[in-house]
Amino acid sequence: MGAIAQSIMKYAQPLLDKTDGSTEQLQAALTTSQLCWNLALMSEEDRNAFLDSMPPMPDMATEDLEIFKRMVVIPMIQRHKEMFPGMNQLGPMAPSRIVARGETPPPAPQQLIKKYAGTGRNEPCPCGSGKKYKLCCGR
């Protein structure tokens, strides 16, 4: 599992721990954690507007929705802020360490231009070397 997936699973762990391990409950916990993750990335104004207009889930009374927000959503948003503090900042990202130290950033990678456009990788090279294009001018 990649680093991003591990971070997301670590973030969702409190909700996953409260399940009985069934597929349905695990899916519900992951869906809830995704909702909370997305809410944590919103501005506080947008988040509050969304939470105020959030309709109850099926089979959930309005009072239960308020408890769900207070006991699950708000703590998960706070967890996100603690685990990923840089993701909650509005505005442009901070400059990289290279730029901050006054160094010149590395050049952008050059886009490859095919020497003989339209030549297939495994065809003989048009330069006449006798090699496949991919092993000759196609490198």
120 or 93: which carries more pLDDT confidence? 120
Residue 107's CB is within 10 A of a number of other CB atoms, namely 6
The mean pLDDT of 22-35, rounded to a whole number, is 92
30-50 residue pLDDT tens: 999 999 999 998 888 888 898
| pLDDT at residue number 17 | 94
The mean pLDDT of 19-35, rounded to a whole number, is 92
94 or 57: which carries more pLDDT confidence? 57
Res 67 pLDDT > 70: yes
The tokens for 82 are 């603690």
Res 1 pLDDT > 70: no
| pLDDT at residue number 44 | 86
Q: Supply the mean pLDDT for the chain.
A: 82
Distances (CA, A) of 22 to 19, 31, 33, 76, 80: 7, 14, 17, 22, 25
The mean pLDDT of 107-126, rounded to a whole number, is 74
21 or 85: which carries more pLDDT confidence? 21
Res 100 pLDDT > 70: no
Res 20 pLDDT > 80: yes
pTM: 0.58
Helices (H), the chain: 3-17, 23-41, 44-53, 62-68, 74-83, 97-100
Chain centre distance of CA 57: 25
Determine the residue type at 54: M
